[in-house]
């Protein structure tokens, strides 16, 4: 008789655990509170722009090996697109300077010796000053580890860490910054190729996972919110879905892959991150000029990254908490003026737009919050935790979420 594994939450952590466990040895049931899978990584039809868009632009890098493995398993690796080499075009809105960072494939960062590949205004020696970031201490911030100023900081380190940590970098945990730098810049250009889901997050990451699970007889129950957990000595005895109580057999297991605030309300005594940072996305329905790169980094603006999708330009602002109270149309106009300048498009009229503000996009990647992240195991032998907020050693990212799901699945399999 196969074991039943109940996975709570159909975000990427829950889905990756389900994909790993959907074998003839297990019966997998995913329970999702909302009417859709994907969690913070989702697509939806937006009436204002009249098209299907993502809640937020998501960037992967070719070094995100767990995410690429996941896509390989569910058969949608080819849906990620990106340039053949690790190239990042940038524009400084103040000085109007444009440059392209071009990382060489090898591990040795030889590109720093080539003025045409590195950040303008920097010397090869400047890069050495950032070396302490490679071994960031868990009790230190980025600001306590390196000097957060100068051309190298504002042209490379700040945009990279702001995007990856979703926090103003000087406040960010040096340990998390080190993990990002070790897995990207220090791993060479082969690990830094930017990849995006051009046709949308759901068709790339979510729907193929649901199809994969369906083909392996795993069940995904939407609008099936876990309301409570019944504990009995050292194990979970039953799951309470409101009208329905599901008793667990002795060999059954539960992977709780919900956001930290939901996990804390279900599991007594659990310490979890409890501070968050927002991400703001602005979407404009307009065709990008032919020469527009798929991803353009912006310095000295409200806009941080411009993504070009078919029929749409989309902007990401990480650590966007200061924009949460700005009036929506005003924000759309401010951002559009910058996009128009960057893309050589007319500033008037404002194209059809949408602003999506995710208030709790990620946990705040501070030293204190990083220390509140639990591992996958709990006091209860058949209850495992997963989610980008568990202690993966990475900031809250797709890669972290998928690694956490894989880790929980491995622990269940070993039991």
Q: Is 298 helix (H, G, I), strand (E, B) or coil?
A: strand
Candidates 72-80, 136-144, 268-276, 355-363: pick the segment binding ligand FAD (CB under 6 A).
355-363
Rg (CA), the chain: 22
Beta-carbon count within 10 A of 87 CB: 18
Q: Interface with ligand FAD includes 371 (CB under 6 A)?
A: no
Q: Is 220 helix (H, G, I), strand (E, B) or coil?
A: strand
At a CB cut-off of 8 Å and minimum separation 6, what does 276 contact? 359, 360, 361, 362, 363, 364
**Cβ-based burial of 225 (10 A; exposed 0-12, middle 13-18, buried ≥19):** middle
Candidates 35-43, 98-106, 334-342, 346-354: pick the segment binding ligand FAD (CB under 6 A).
35-43
Contact residue for ligand FAD among 18, 21, 26, 55 (CB under 6 A) = 55
**C-beta closer to ligand FAD: residue 14 or 188:** 14
Please report, as residue ranges, which positions from 224 to 243 form the binding site for ligand FAD (by CB under 6 A): 225-226
Q: Interface with ligand FAD includes 41 (CB under 6 A)?
A: yes
The distance of Cα 228 from the centroid of its chain, to the nearest Å, equals: 28
Beta-carbon count within 10 A of 124 CB: 14
**C-beta closer to ligand FAD: residue 299 or 386:** 386
Q: Interface with ligand FAD includes 407 (CB under 6 A)?
A: no
DSSP alpha helices (H): ranges in 244-287?
260-266
Q: Interface with ligand FAD includes 152 (CB under 6 A)?
A: no
Please report, as residue ranges, which positions from 248 to 267 form the binding site for ligand FAD (by CB under 6 A): 257-259, 262
Beta-carbon count within 10 A of 230 CB: 14
Q: Interface with ligand FAD includes 283 (CB under 6 A)?
A: no
Candidates 55-63, 110-118, 172-180, 267-275: pick the segment binding ligand FAD (CB under 6 A).
55-63
Binding site for ligand FAD (CB under 6 A): 8-14, 31-34, 39-41, 55-56, 58-59, 225-226, 257-259, 262, 279, 281, 358, 361-362, 387-388, 396-399, 401
């Amino acid at each position: 008789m196969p074991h039943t594994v109940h996975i709570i939450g159909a975000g990427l952590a829950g889905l990756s655990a389900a994909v790993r466990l959907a074998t003839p040895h297990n019966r997998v049931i995913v329970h999702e509170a909302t009417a859709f899978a994907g969690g913070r990584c989702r697509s939806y039809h937006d009436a204002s722009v009249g098209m299907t868009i993502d809640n937020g632009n998501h960037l992967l890098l070719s070094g995100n090996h767990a995410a690429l493995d996941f896509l390989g398993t569910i058969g949608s690796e080819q849906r990620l697109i990106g340039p053949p080499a690790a190239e990042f075009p940038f524009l400084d809105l103040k000085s109007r300077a444009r440059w392209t960072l071009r990382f060489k494939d090898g591990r040795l960062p030889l590109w720093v010796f080539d003025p045409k590949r590195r950040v303008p205004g920097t010397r090869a020696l400047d890069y050495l000053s950032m070396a302490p970031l490679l071994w960031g201490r868990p009790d230190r911030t980025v600001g306590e580890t390196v000097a957060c100023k100068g051309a190298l900081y504002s042209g490379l380190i700040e945009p990279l860490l702001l995007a990856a940590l979703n926090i103003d970098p000087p406040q960010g945990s040096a340990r998390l910054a080190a993990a990002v730098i070790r897995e990207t810049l220090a791993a060479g250009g082969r690990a830094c190729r930017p990849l995006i889901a051009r046709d949308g997050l759901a068709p790339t990451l979510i729907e193929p996972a649901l199809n994969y699970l369906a083909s392996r007889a795993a069940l995904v129950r939407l609008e099936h919110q876990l309301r409570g957990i019944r504990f009995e000595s050292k194990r979970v005895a039953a799951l309470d879905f409101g009208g329905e109580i599901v008793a667990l057999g002795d060999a059954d297991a539960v992977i709780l892959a919900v956001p930290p605030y939901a996990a804390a309300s279900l599991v007594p005594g659990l310490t979890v991150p409890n501070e968050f940072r927002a991400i703001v996305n602005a979407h404009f329905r307009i065709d990008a000029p032919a020469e527009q790169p798929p991803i353009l980094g912006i310095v000295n603006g409200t806009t941080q990254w411009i993504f070009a999708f078919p029929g749409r330009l989309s902007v990401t602002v990480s650590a966007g908490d200061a924009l949460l109270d700005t009036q929506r149309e005003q924000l759309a106009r401010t951002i559009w003026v910058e996009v128009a300048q960057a893309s050589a498009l007319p500033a008037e009229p404002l194209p059809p737009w949408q602003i999506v503000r995710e208030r709790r996009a990620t946990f705040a990647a501070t030293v204190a919050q990083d220390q509140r992240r639990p591992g996958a195991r709990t006091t209860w032998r058949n209850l495992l935790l997963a989610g980008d907020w568990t202690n993966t050693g990475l900031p809250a990212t797709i890669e972290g979420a998928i690694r956490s799901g894989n880790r929980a699945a491995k622990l269940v399999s070993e039991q």
